[in-house]
């Protein structure tokens, strides 16, 4: 954390929260506001693109457009003739896109004779708001912010989602960390802007590097609570809730039910399953509670645990750094994880390029941000995920407001995911194929990290070690793996410690999984991620 940010943000943050809440949106206007915003998305996109053509611009998109022989007037004509998504597909076909590794600065942007390294500053827009940071394992970490204006632009879609699921009269709570985990805090702020209080904040216990960092994050969280109470509908103070005290959440849900009140809990998918499993073990029905689950795929195993408790669940999808909110669950889904894409702030298409993984090949998602308050101007930029996209008329409130694009089966082709946190696959291969064999014996194909559903529907990270390696100190090899995972930077250490505390790691003395074509990958994602 930079010292200047640590010293200045606690001073300016309350004023920004106050301003954000004083200009509160109205829940009964959410659908109309969303429809109005969608109507201007093409105009806003062209205005953002025009900025990249300004004299002295170092935008990578200007370079890609020139290389493709495409002018701003050409793009305007494409948008007019084929619509925004149609124009973006034509641009992607011409090479105007950023692969995930190019966006992160891990590889040069290369299109034929054109080659350059992307500077994150050249696509940055907003610099004021919630701070977030990329992992930076193989490159310099990207420190980005999510502005309050961007949150304001996303709020109408949140309000329409609340109305679609009839959650406006529920008692809302969150099982989310304080900073640096910004997603939960941003969502609570958007609810507050709509006049919906978060009445309980069960703060996930998170590791801190030192007492100064812990104090800094807690000050920001308590300032948020204070401003949300003084200038908003109310905002709970964070109540630290480690995993072994999840029964607190179950008891709160039971208290709401005893009073005839329904409740809604925002958390990551693994924790939604944990709460449901705890409720079942306590003999407490969770009927009347809705989980807003995010951060991980909502697998059938997790959903079955939640359904058995009497609760219902809907899903959310976004990505960082920069706090981009992509989709929110459809109330009449054809698929368990079906969502409406936030078309007011984003455009999403499939990349024309195929990315190989194991025996499969997938088309990555390409994202374009449509408002100048975004942290970055993304133009056909990959985030490392793929999914199914489809237009259909489901008849719900979100559809009626203009969110006609549906997304489901969101998976990553480059990240392990557990506890709502992810780790780039490219950064794991060196550890698995070289460092562990060098210290504990065997060769590069005797070790394999596998993402899978464990007992209790928890997403596990399993280290498979081939029995032919011989006698291995399993505790020692796991300690070395954890040490290597957290070696690079602060965020990697943070994620590794969260996984360790959640007991997400285990070791199995079994042969690594080999694909149908005989490939043994150093890192193997869950089966659902290899469709």
CATH number at residue 488: 3.30.300
pLDDT level of residue 34 (50, 70, 90 thresholds): very high
pLDDT of residue 459: 75
Tell me: cis bond preceding 180? Omega within 30 of 0 counts: yes
pLDDT level of residue 358 (50, 70, 90 thresholds): low
Q: Which uninterrupted H or E stretch holds 387?
A: strand 385-391
How far apart are the C-alpha atoms of 218 and 224, rounded to whole Å? 10
* 38 inside domain: no
* 504 inside domain: yes
Percentage above 70 pLDDT, the chain: 83
Question: What mean pLDDT value characterizes the chain?
Answer: 85
- pLDDT higher than threshold 70 for residue 96: yes
How far apart are the C-alpha atoms of 92 and 109, rounded to whole Å? 14
Identify the three-state secondary structure at position 85: helix
- End-to-end CA distance of the chain: give it in Å, rounded: 39
pLDDT of residue 135: 38
How far apart are the C-alpha atoms of 238 and 284, rounded to whole Å? 24
* 445 inside domain: yes
Segment 345-365 mean pLDDT: 87
Give CA separation, 261 vs 172, 201, 284, 308, in Å: 11, 17, 15, 20
* 471 inside domain: yes
pLDDT of residue 531: 29
CB contact at 8 A, 86 and 78? yes
Please count the CA atoms within 13 angstroms of the CA of 93 that sit on its side-chain side: 6
- DSSP annotation of 268 reads E
Output the pTM of the full model: 0.83
CA 250 to chain CA mean position, Å: 26
Q: Which uninterrupted H or E stretch holds 523?
A: strand 523-524
pLDDT level of residue 296 (50, 70, 90 thresholds): confident
- pLDDT higher than threshold 90 for residue 7: no
pLDDT of residue 138: 38
pLDDT of residue 427: 67
pLDDT of residue 493: 66
- pLDDT higher than threshold 80 for residue 115: yes
pLDDT of residue 320: 76
Burial class (CB in 10 A: 0-12, 13-18, 19+), 364: buried
User: In degrees rounded to 5, what are phi and psi of residue 275?
Assistant: -60, -45
Identify the weakest region by mean pLDDT among 248-252, 262-266, 426-430, 435-439.
426-430
pLDDT of residue 6: 42
Question: Which conformational region is residue 300 in: left (phi greater than 0), alpha (psi within -120 to 50 degrees), or beta?
Answer: alpha
Segment 326-352 mean pLDDT: 96
Identify the three-state secondary structure at position 318: strand
How far apart are the C-alpha atoms of 247 and 453, rounded to whole Å? 23
pLDDT of residue 204: 80
Higher pLDDT, 338 or 425: 338
Residue 464 bridge partners (DSSP): 448, 508
- pLDDT higher than threshold 90 for residue 417: no
Domain span including residue 507:
421-530
- pLDDT higher than threshold 80 for residue 3: no
Pairing relationship of beta strands 459-465 and 505-508 according to DSSP bridges: parallel
* 219 inside domain: no
pLDDT level of residue 40 (50, 70, 90 thresholds): very high
Identify the weakest region by mean pLDDT among 122-126, 165-169, 172-176.
122-126
How far apart are the C-alpha atoms of 278 and 309, rounded to whole Å? 9
Higher pLDDT, 193 or 458: 193
Segment 280-308 mean pLDDT: 91
Sign of the CA dihedral with 153 first, then 175, 386, and 124 last: positive
Q: Where are the alpha helices (DSSP H) in 365-451?
A: 397-401, 426-430, 436-440
Segment 358-367 mean pLDDT: 84
How far apart are the C-alpha atoms of 66 and 91, rounded to whole Å? 12
Residue positions counted in the chain? 531
pLDDT of residue 2: 46
Q: What is the DSSP string of 26-67?
A: -GGGHHHHHHHHHHTHHHHHHHHHHHHTSTT---HHHHHHHH
Tens digit of pLDDT for each residue in 457-466? 677 788 899 9
Segment 392-400 mean pLDDT: 96
Q: Which uninterrupted H or E stretch holds 152?
A: helix 148-164
Beta strands in 242-399 (DSSP E): 263-268, 289-294, 312-319, 324-329, 339-341, 346-350, 355-357, 360-362, 365-369, 385-391
* 227 inside domain: no
pLDDT of residue 1: 45
Q: Which uninterrupted H or E stretch holds 412?
A: strand 405-412
* 218 inside domain: no
How far apart are the C-alpha atoms of 480 and 458, rounded to whole Å? 23
Q: How many structural domains is the chain composed of? A: 1
How far apart are the C-alpha atoms of 525 and 428, rounded to whole Å? 12
Burial class (CB in 10 A: 0-12, 13-18, 19+), 276: buried
pLDDT level of residue 519 (50, 70, 90 thresholds): low
- pLDDT higher than threshold 80 for residue 368: yes
Tell me: cis bond preceding 321? Omega within 30 of 0 counts: yes
Q: Which uninterrupted H or E stretch holds 184?
A: helix 182-193
């Amino acid at each position: 954390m930079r010292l200047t940010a640590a010293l200045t943000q606690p001073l300016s943050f309350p004023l920004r929260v106050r301003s954000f809440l004083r200009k509160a949106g109205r829940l009964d206007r959410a659908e109309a506001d969303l429809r109005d915003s969608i109507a201007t998305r093409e105009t806003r996109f062209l205005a953002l693109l025009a900025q990249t053509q300004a004299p002295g611009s170092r935008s990578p998109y200007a370079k890609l457009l020139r290389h493709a022989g495409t002018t701003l007037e050409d793009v305007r004509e494409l948008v007019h003739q084929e619509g925004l998504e149609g124009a973006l597909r034509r641009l992607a076909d011409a090479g105007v896109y950023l692969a995930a590794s190019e966006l992160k600065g891990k590889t040069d942007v290369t299109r034929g004779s054109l080659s350059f390294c992307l500077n994150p500053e050249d696509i940055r827009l907003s610099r004021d708001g919630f701070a977030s940071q990329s992992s930076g394992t193989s490159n310099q970490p990207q420190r980005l912010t999510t502005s309050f204006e961007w949150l304001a632009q996303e709020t109408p879609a949140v309000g329409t989602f609340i109305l679609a699921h009839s959650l406006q009269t529920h008692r809302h709570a969150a099982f989310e960390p304080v900073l640096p985990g910004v997603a939960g805090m941003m969502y609570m702020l958007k609810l507050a802007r709509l006049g919906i209080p978060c009445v309980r904040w069960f703060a996930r216990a998170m590791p801190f590097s030192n007492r100064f960092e812990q104090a800094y994050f807690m000050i920001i969280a308590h300032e948020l609570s204070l401003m949300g109470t003084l200038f908003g509908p109310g905002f709970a103070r964070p109540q630290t809730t480690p995993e072994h005290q999840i029964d607190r959440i179950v008891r709160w849900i039971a208290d709401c039910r005893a009073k005839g009140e329904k409740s809604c809990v925002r958390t990551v998918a693994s924790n939604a399953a944990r709460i449901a499993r705890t409720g079942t073990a306590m003999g407490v029905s969770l009927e009347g509670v809705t989980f807003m689950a995010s951060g991980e795929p909502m697998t059938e195993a997790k959903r079955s645990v939640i359904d058995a408790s009497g609760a219902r669940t809907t899903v959310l999808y976004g990505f960082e750094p920069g706090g981009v909110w992509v989709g929110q669950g459809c109330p009449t889904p054809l698929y368990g994880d079906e969502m409406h894409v936030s078309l007011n702030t984003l455009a999403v298409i499939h990349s024309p390029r195929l990315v190989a993984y194991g025996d499969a090949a997938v088309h990555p998602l390409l994202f374009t941000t449509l408002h100048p308050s975004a942290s970055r101007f993304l133009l056909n930029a990959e985030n490392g995920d793929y999914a199914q996209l489809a237009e259909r008329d489901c008849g719900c409130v979100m559809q009626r407001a203009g969110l006609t694009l549906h997304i489901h089966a969101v998976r990553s082709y480059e990240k392990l995911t557990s506890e709502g946190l992810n780790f780039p696959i490219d950064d794991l291969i060196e550890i698995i194929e070289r460092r562990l064999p060098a210290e504990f014996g065997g060769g590069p194909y005797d070790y394999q990290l596998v993402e899978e559903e464990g007992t209790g529907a928890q997403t596990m990270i399993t280290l498979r070690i081939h029995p032919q390696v011989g006698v291995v100190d399993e505790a020692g090899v796991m300690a070395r793996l954890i040490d290597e995972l957290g070696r690079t930077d602060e965020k990697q250490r943070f994620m590794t410690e969260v996984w360790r505390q959640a007991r997400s790691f285990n070791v199995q003395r079994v042969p690594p999984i080999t694909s149908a074509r005989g490939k043994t990958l150093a890192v193997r994602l869950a089966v659902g991620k290899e469709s």
